[in-house]
Amino acid sequence: MTDPFFHPVSGFELPRFAGIPTFMRLPHVALDDPRLAEVQVGLIGVPWDSGTTNRPGPRHGPRQMRDMSTMLRAEHGASQVRPFEAMACADLGDVAPNPADIQDAMARITRFYDRVRAAGIVPVTAGGDHLTSLPVLRALARDRPLGMIHFDSHTDLFHSYFNGMMYTHGTPFRRAVEEGLLDPKRVCQIGIRGSTYDQEDRDFARSVGIRVIPIEEFHARGVADVMAEAREIAGSGETYISYDIDFIDPAFAPGTGTPEIGGPNSYQALQVVRELEGVKIVGADVVEVSPPFDPSGGTAYLGATIMFEMLCIIAAGWDAS
């Protein structure tokens, strides 16, 4: 049982619409806070979307996800896991990005996560666009490649955009493989769909051994079967989870910049996370929530719920360790 300092404020004490919104009503523990040493899982915002090639907005994602996350309660309805009692969780605040310089912004993010990792904290990130994952991986995978289970409608494996731009939200995992941050044979991408420029990304995937499961296969096989394969690919090694909200059908998650028709529904969106049980998770993110395209907050609420499911899965493994 964790210290009550790390328990979220109850809606029975302070109604859910009240209070300064931190992730899941957890305490805010900044990187220079003395209690950082006690934190085991850190929820972090990366309000940054400089990698976005079409419709910007994910820079506003962490704030809206914090707001909507106040509707979540302390216990998982199905598994009865109580993550905040199992692990000391805290809101570590936002990385300060530089919205006008991609390289500087990436350096700032990596430095932040270096400190998080140094403190032994498992980071669960609210993006930000998908380029966010690259500087995070640079910190988490500095010394050995990680496996990755990646939910998305796009592979994000392209070489470059716009006349040689190497760092966009369509390229992070190409870079991550090139930089040795990911072990491509332990990478599985699930839900890929939508029209494409060409096959360049998938050719790369094949050439390095990344497993791509298109949405047609996902719908045909079902969640349990697909996720069993994903777990097998990730194996027993350290694994990163990257969850692009556009994995989910845009009717459920309209607040995103590059929606693709025909995705999973919200129940499947949660089930794939529950099926991560047993994976050795060293970090996770939920990216591409774009509030300007969903002022209602429904997409952010879905994103926050996925973060909660991630916490519960991590907590389930925590108990066992």
Q: How far is the CB of 207 from its own copies (least distance, A)?
A: 17
Please tell me the distance from the alpha carbon of residue 45 to that of residue 100, in angstroms, as a whole number: 18
Please tell me the distance from the alpha carbon of residue 19 to that of residue 4, in angstroms, as a whole number: 18
Comparing CB distances to its own copies, the nearer of 76 and 174 is 76
Q: How far is the CB of 223 from its own copies (least distance, A)?
A: 10
Residue 246 counted as an annotated binding residue: yes
Contact pick of 3, 5, 37, 99 for its own copies (by CB under 8 A): 99
What is the token pair recorded at 47? 């309000």
Q: Does 1 bind its own copies (CB under 8 A)?
A: no
Q: How far is the CB of 93 from its own copies (least distance, A)?
A: 6
Residue 91 counted as an annotated binding residue: no
Residues 19-78 that bind its own copies (CB under 8 A): 19-22, 28, 45, 47, 49-57, 59-60, 62-63, 66-67, 71-78
Q: Virtual CA dihedral for 141, 124, 53, 234, nearest 10 degrees?
A: 50
CB-facing half-sphere around the CA of 33: CA atoms within 13 A = 15
Please tell me the distance from the alpha carbon of residue 89 to that of residue 246, in angstroms, as a whole number: 27
Comparing CB distances to its own copies, the nearer of 107 and 208 is 107
Q: How far is the CB of 216 from its own copies (least distance, A)?
A: 5
What is the token pair recorded at 301? 């609420």
Q: How far is the CB of 158 from its own copies (least distance, A)?
A: 9
Comparing CB distances to its own copies, the nearer of 59 and 117 is 59
Q: Please enumerate in sequence order all residues whose Cβ is within 8 A of that of 251, keeping only pairs 6 or more positions apart, or say none.
A: none
Residue 130 counted as an annotated binding residue: yes
Residues 260-289 that bind its own copies (CB under 8 A): 260-263, 265-267, 269-270
Comparing CB distances to its own copies, the nearer of 13 and 143 is 13
Q: Does 98 bind its own copies (CB under 8 A)?
A: yes
Cis peptide upstream of residue 128 (ω within 30 degrees of 0): yes
Q: Is 61 strand, coil or helix?
A: helix
Please tell me the distance from the alpha carbon of residue 120 to that of residue 137, in angstroms, as a whole number: 15
Buried b (16+ CB within 10 A) or exposed e, 9-22: bebeeeebeeeebb
Q: Does 215 bind its own copies (CB under 8 A)?
A: yes
Comparing CB distances to its own copies, the nearer of 106 and 141 is 106
Comparing CB distances to its own copies, the nearer of 143 and 164 is 164
Q: Does 4 bind its own copies (CB under 8 A)?
A: no
Q: Please enumerate in sequence order all residues whose Cβ is within 8 A of that of 280, keeping only pairs 6 or more positions apart, or say none.
A: 234, 236, 237, 238, 239, 317
Comparing CB distances to its own copies, the nearer of 161 and 235 is 161
CA 267 to each of CA 106, 134, 215, 271, 319: distance values in angstroms, whole numbers, following the listed order: 34, 28, 15, 6, 25
- List 223's β-bridge partners, or say none: none
Residues 149-188 that bind its own copies (CB under 8 A): 161-163, 165, 167-168
Contact pick of 3, 104, 203, 232 for its own copies (by CB under 8 A): 104
Please tell me the distance from the alpha carbon of residue 289 to that of residue 48, in angstroms, as a whole number: 11
Comparing CB distances to its own copies, the nearer of 79 and 229 is 79
Cβ distance 223 to 273 under 8 Å?
A: no
Q: Look at residues 283, 320, 286, 314 and name the one whose alpha carbon lies nearest to residue 65.
A: 286
Residue 294 counted as an annotated binding residue: no
Residue 159 counted as an annotated binding residue: no
Residues 286-315 that bind its own copies (CB under 8 A): 292-293, 295-296, 298, 301-302, 305, 308
Residues 185-214 that bind its own copies (CB under 8 A): 192-199, 214
Q: How far is the CB of 186 from its own copies (least distance, A)?
A: 24
